[in-house]
Amino acid sequence: MTVFSASSTAGAFVTAAERARVAFAKAHGSEPTVIVQAPGRVNLIGEHTDYNDGFVLPMALPFATAIALTPNDTCRIEVSSEGFADACFSIEDPLAAEGWSRYVHGTAQLVAADGYPATGWTGCIATDIPTGASLSSSAALEVATGLATVTAARGSISSIELAKIAQRVENDLLGLPSGIMDQLASAACTAGCAVRIDCRDLSLTDVVLPSDATVIILDTGTRRKLLESEYAARQDACHTAATTIGVASLRDARLNDLDTITDDRVRRRARHVVTANRRVSDAVHAMQSGDTARLGELMSESHRSLRDDFEVTGPALDAIVTLAESIDGCHGARMTGGGFAGCAVALVDNDAVDHFCQSVLDHFNAPDTQPATEPTQVWPVTPSAGAHIVTDQTSRQDSVHRD
């Protein structure tokens, strides 16, 4: 088991962008024309609210997916990725039945279908984002691909449009029912800040994190594959609740309204969403007033709501959150992302970070009922920039912008 920190291993840490560049140079004997990258995200608070038109508060991670490429002036994409088989397809071809490259293919296809400048390219992908750990590795791949494809064609696209295309790849092409949070966080975050997203009108508000505490990601090492059906079941319950109350979405419901829901399970699902939206507002207020303790309390309250009302935590996430909360200097902790497995997030006093990380590594073991398939890992992270161009020799700049 290891503590991994991009900042503490400076010197030894080679970024995904650099690895993609080196892979490209090795494969093609020349430097890439374009390098882009898009980060993973951790959501600080506001879970399962995005598809209810609600509020979320993610931040971008220092871990990214990078693509180094050269436009090839055809409609073909030829791509290789560390640890995966090479892929080659025409943007217009139907998507393959399965495989990692469908994320690349689907995104390039929708970028072109929506009328953005799009051209084929030859490239190499590298990533620092663990897959299946609830840190949005697929959103990062989609967003990086969209930016790569537009930049290769010397075009530009707003981060919101980029995120919407990436979400449609999941929903419409791959049949995965995700909300917009992951893609928008990857596309639009600002370094140094979390972003409050209003998932109804997609307005973004940057919120600075407390300077006296550090966000730490706790990877339980568990991975879950059944999330999609559970995720769809939660969406159905939220939809049933909104219909019963008579509102367009649970964003418009108040706690009093929930009394009209007779089904206990549906009522608890709705209660989570209504209270989660309030917690995001309270968390933004706590951050703006420098109240680190309150932010931590809200994170722990959020975990309890996800565990008891929304029922998307599971034994490993519950165990690591309980352990984190018991360690000195931890203000609060919660699962992050879709749930059931993967990562939790904790807020820890700066001067307690080393002790905290070591304690988690020393004492966490995934429960027998949910064994880990990956090692436990602990990552102190700083809020990082959203998708951007690292290198562009195509003679244009600024191909992603917020408005």
Which residue number, 220 or 399, has a Cβ lying nearer to ligand GLA? Answer: 220
127, 401, 71, 164: CA torsion to nearest 10: 70
Which residue number, 119 or 178, has a Cβ lying nearer to ligand GLA? Answer: 178
Nearest to 303 by CA among 289, 319, 288: 319
Q: For the chain, what is the radius of gyration of the CA atoms?
A: 21
- Reported residue count of the chain is 403
Which residue number, 17 or 165, has a Cβ lying nearer to ligand GLA? Answer: 165
**Widest pairwise Cα distance in the chain:** 67
The binding site for ligand GLA (CB under 6 A) comprises 47-48, 50-51, 178-179, 181-182, 337-338
Do the Cβ atoms of 138 and 170 come closer than 8 Å?
A: yes
- Closest approach of ligand GLA to the CB of residue 103, in Å: 13
Residues marked as catalytic: 182
Question: What residues pair up with 42 in beta bridges, in sequence order?
Answer: 59
- Closest approach of ligand GLA to the CB of residue 180, in Å: 6
- Closest approach of ligand GLA to the CB of residue 128, in Å: 18
Which residue number, 89 or 310, has a Cβ lying nearer to ligand GLA? Answer: 310
- Closest approach of ligand GLA to the CB of residue 50, in Å: 5
Interhelix angle 137-152/181-188, rounded to 10 degrees, is 50
Which residue number, 55 or 121, has a Cβ lying nearer to ligand GLA? Answer: 55
Tokens found for residue 403: 């408005």
- Closest approach of ligand GLA to the CB of residue 301, in Å: 16
Nearest to 74 by CA among 125, 118, 129, 26: 118
The sign of the torsion formed by the CA atoms of 168, 203, 48, 242 equals negative
